[in-house]
Structure 1
Amino acid sequence: MCGRCVALILAALVVLGTGAIADGILFPVERPHSTIVVPDELFTVKYHRVNVDINDQVAVTKVDQIFHNDTSREREGMYVFPVPEGSAITKFSMFAGANENVGKILDKNEARGIYESIVRQRRDPALLEYIDRNTFRASVFPIPANGDKRIRLDYSEIVKKSGNTCRYVYSLSTERFSARPLEDCKVTIHLHAKHPITNIYSPTHTIDIERISDLEANITWSAKDVKPDTDLVLYYTLSNDDIGIDLIGHKVAGKDGYYLLLASPRVEIDRSKVQPKKVIFVFDRTGSMAGNKIDQTKEAINFCLGTLRSDDLFNVITFNETPKLVFSEMRKATKENVKAAISAVDGVDASGGTDIDLAMKKAMKQFAGTGTERNYIVFLTDGQPTVGTVDNEVILKDVKASDTRNVKLFAFGVGYDVNTHLLDKLAEQSKGDTDYVRPNENIEIKVSSFFGKVSEPLLSDVKVKVNGVEVSDVFPSDDLPDIFKGSQLIILGRYKSSGKVKIELSGISNDTRRTFVLNSSLPAEEDSNDFIAQLWASRKIGYLLDQIRLHSSTELIDEVVRLSKEYGIPTEYTSFLADDRANTVALDASVARAKVLVDEAVKVETGSYGVAQSTNARNSRFQAQAPQATASAGYGGPSGAAAPPQVVLGKMAANSRAGGVYFDSQNRQVVAANVQNIAMRTFYQRGDYWEDADLKKDQKFVQIKQFSDAHFQLLAKYPKLAQYSTLGNVRLVLENNQGIEIGPQGKDKLTDAEAKAILKGVSS
């Protein structure tokens, strides 16, 4: 090619691999040397599209990116991208206009030197995350002024498998180095297998799953105007059982471990195994529901009615001062009965007061004489009881006394005038669930989305036994949800010791208890799945918050504070832990401060803060992705509403991640950028430094100058330091109680003896 054409050199740079993969980073460099990274503005990633084909364990990943040069001059770039250990690059090409130019692959062993050079010159600690990964490099020239450069990369790998579980990783995190948010970012995974695919789960991203058959599925994650900062991790299980079970463990040597249990049914399941259900729809037709709320509620109920199976039993009750039944008793969901119910719903007008007690007792009475399995009430209201029995505790007792058939109640509170304590307790005592539809959210979308997930029950009265190791602190524990077609059961807990494990999951199907068994093991030491610990802590915090909020169990606040501090999970009651002075405050003083906040908060049962507290607890109890991933995406879902006002606590760290998100008393979405948990350590942002939560008041430090030879000496001997260093300036205490401060001041070099002394007794 001529000098003005694309000059492409691709070097395979091998270092110690971590098994993670990444798309490319394009750094500006100076010509003619083409290796010196200039401290200039990074290129903008216009779009990033990834297509992955996985056949059993063989994955072929195709990356397509367009980079934009925002300057008025022609530039050169160094394209650097980490890839999985053992992968094979099958294609690397760039585009000059519409023409695709394929480059040559050359082998070299200099990756660590390349990264050190880039990090030193750009002085960006976030790049340290990739310092010990298998890496490739390409020189990219020319990148036209105010123009684009399209780059494609294809590679293949063998996906790691443990037992029946496969783990695929694609690192989106390098896109945080884009000069501006990406206009379009999408990852599509086409999954094919010879054995049925049961569990499909990502602990890092909220993914869309299209199950085409038992042997095929499409998984998609997409976003616009974002800077992704977290690697996409995907687990999938291959099992011939009707219910596939999977077990994943995390354990630090010498400490109790954490486990994640997943259970999902097959797609192509015998229709005879789908169990008929009995469901009563109860919705509020009081005056406050007039207008858009009653219209959306009708659409939601009619959608649910349209999805009923012909052997389901159902009825509809509308209520104000007086409950009104569509049928005198439950009827089968024939076309004629469903049509009659839809017609009745369409004719409802909104007027009058709210008698929740009478409506719920009428609904419970409908189940008299039926079996005790798969009985559900879907309940919608926008207000508090104003007519008849209005005392919450009396209503709860009345409903519980009238429930003789193990009915599960799923309540939807519409707007901010609802009594969240009443709705949450009604759902809690019936082993159901509550959700809230904020003003301007779409009732129809939220309710229909829920009902679509529970329309086809497979197992009820679900129980799980773990044999072989001692387990504790399991969430959820006794009140397990029914298993529906397309659903996934997620259980988190702690375990002692290690070894072989026998999991028995059982439930009622066709009036018979069926049992599914998984023979597996839990590791004595495994530190690669630390997301499990954070998920467990988040779920426990959610459970504790509900106990505190609904049952005045304020003695549990100390445990919330301890968990929040240890695992770096922010809540509306513990956000003060990141304050500058908090590291000098004893745990009991922090608990006292949290109790003051809680005492005021638990008095709020209605309004936006009542809904916010319930939502925060629920989001924690059902946490399925690591809190950092939630912070990037924000809470939400298919509600059709604009995003709530957002507040960011602190300054975003160099790695562009945050510790979590919650709603505050003003109904603002709070992103806690001032706390992060990295490799089972919590760090708080205090001034210009990120400080280890375990620092002592009189902690002494060895000062190390950031990006110096001394810094890289320690990185080479203690790889975990690279993860901590991605925060920026950092102060931490090692396992040997040695304090290290990495920042603008400190030692440039260390002798071997000094480095050994600092890291004495520290495991790498």
Structure 2
Amino acid sequence: MATTTADWDIYSFHINSTVTSRYATSVISSRVANRHNNPTEILFHVKIPKNAFISKFRMTIDGKIYDGEVRKKEEVQQQYSQAVSQGQSAGLIISVGRTLEHFKTSVTVAAHKKVDFELTYEELLSRRLGKYELLINAQPMQPVKDFRIGVNIYETTGIRSLNVKGSLKDLAHANRADQKAWINFHPTLEQQTQCDGCRESGLNGDMHIFYDVERPESLGEVMTSNGFFAHYFAPSDIPRIPKNVIFIIDESGSMMGKKIQQTQSALLKILDDINEDDYFGLIIFSSRIRLWKPELLPATEDNIEAAKSFVKNLDPNGGTDINSAVLKGVEMINACPREEAASILILLTDGDPTAGVTNRGQIQHNVKAAIGLKFPLYILGFGFDITFEFLQKLSQENGGMARRIYTDSDAALQLQGFYEEVSTPLLTNIRMNYTGVTSITKTSFSRYYDGSEIVVAGEIIRNSSKDFSVTVMAISKLNNVMYQDLNPKEEKHASGLENSLQRVWAFLTVKQLLEKELTAKGKEKEAVRKQVLELSLKYKFVTPLTSMVVTKPQGEDAHVANKPKEDTEEKVLLNPFNNRGLSRRPTSDQIQSRHHGRLGRPSSIDIFDMSEEDGHSWMTSPLWIKQKVNMRFLVAAQGLFRSLCYDIPGGLSLRLFHEPTSGFSMNGQLMPPTGKGFQKIKVHLRSDERIYFDTNQIQINIGQSNITLSWINNTKHETDNITVTVRDKEVEVILKSIRIAVLLHQRYRKRFLWPAVRNRPSGTTVSGILGHAVPIVCEYTQDSKYKIKIGEQEVDAYSTEAYDYGIHAAPAVYCLYVPPEAVLQKNLSDFTVLHL
């Protein structure tokens, strides 16, 4: 839960997770008090694992309970439109992160009253590399007197290993005995500001709990309870199968820089880990195909060294011909028949098809026809410049899966980690057969890898185990194998968890149906969606087809929680003005109400329908858009617990920074309203010195000398007057005591610029959007936390978020939104320019 001591007091913050037979139910509960003399808006903001489904949310205010209600998403969308048409706020409050998703809502609490929040989410833990992982995030962002994390794990076969990692691990106490394990985390107020995952503002970190179970029988573990069963199959005492593996690597122009470097680093390590009895190949593609060798070769020491040399010479350029590259991989595997081997294709790409066959449906058809489900295609999507749903369809239709590789410093480790998961095949063509059951989950699997686990669940007919039996058939390295006569075990539960196997079945069924829905078409797709919806509503899961309406006391707007898909951006429904019959340019009073009035709280982005009155664009109807933050500027504020922020409409050309003594100035042109950041920036040094920035290059013009630099290459250019340094998509310009930077960002396939002032001269007059003294002196007024003083001016402020694009990581930070004139102390028109 994110907050600060200036807002409210958190009396207690508890996270309790109970894991029974790999199924985790976690409850986050918090009691928060408004210590102000006036009603205060209190924010509840927590992070949960991406794999989980929210199943319950409750607020208790002054003894009255407000429960969240899971509904069909279409019903909620209608509620959105109605709320917006009435000028109310109605925001989607869950967004995608790397391993976590955000749940946010807020409620106004009367003076000196308390509110209790309770959020429940559920997940089936997956086994990877021999371990299950339970991830818990703790972010109250203030020291809490009663802070606890408690985890209880129960596994009937016994717990084999237990390990706690993450920034909060040093304060956790872990114990295990036979079938149970306990992890307790109860830091003191002092410890909450001094641990690795702590700050003066409290805890902010993760706890990763890894464990594995005893497996007395390699043929698996079958649990039954209340008419449902779950079969956990993870044999390990069988020999590994040699593999034919082909790595298909994208070296198109967009891979230039860190991406290709990290890919090379990962491949060099992976090549070292290929077993001697494996055969392998390398296909490098852009607009054309390059082969290391025309056929698969054994992983001898000489071949590995030769392949490494080939990998070191990757040269990013050109387009992206996914179709030809994958079909070539299929051709090479088919030309290397080894009956004892398990074949695998691994495709890594950072872009959509732009060369060769570019129609995605045609590519899917071609690849599916070529592979014919004879071996799996795994796809690693590098970064966010891809249509991930296309990669998911392409892999799932061919027996594999797609995974996103995040473009962080550990991208190479992510690539290596994925390869480790599929590097040791133990079984192929696995068929799980059950009698006496119904409503069963997926029972056919192309591969089983060491360290993983296959889970099947279903309902036992008439709750009778007399006719219930299990048979597993598969192919191992040596011959066909069959496991049968498994002895089902009656599962024992902790109090209140008697139906956990039923929820295992429901959770697994919904997950697999959502995967099927991705590739299904026509009536089959409709039938699958109907099944998902019925189960989601019955078990109160927030899935991509359902939403949870967070109800509030009368007079407050409802919020809606949605489960996002992996490749979708957070959607925000906007209406900057009260849209009751507005059909022309709003009045100045309406514009002011956008900044100050209750119905006009600032939204996360400014965007309007296009009309040509006076050359301006104004909203005339509600819009769905995909950007979360647009043209939002952050300003440090002295005397406040967070920064100030304000919005500037897109498309304007602005004076950013001007220092008259040196003649140094910087202007920038914002992207159109549908974009982000700046599309062009120009620095003026003297009458004959200019530096031009756009999203493709940097051009330095000094007298008759013209120099063009790339954003990718690290370089430095110096004259008697200035120093220009390019490194890692950031350009730094230094002129005496002035130091500015221009950063190149890329989000959701859109590139944009962002300026930052690193150092401004003291004792001189500097003007421009970025020319104000930092930090601005502000203070709270006594009557409301939402009213602040900037200099001598009192303004209303609203708590919101912004991305800090002035640094590479571009983190989301909390800020207080104010009108731009309050910060600039002038009208916005005073900072616009006709030409850069």
TM-score by length of 1: 0.46
- Greater share of residues in strand: 2
Q: TM-score, normalised by structure 2?
A: 0.43
Q: Which has the higher helix share?
A: 1
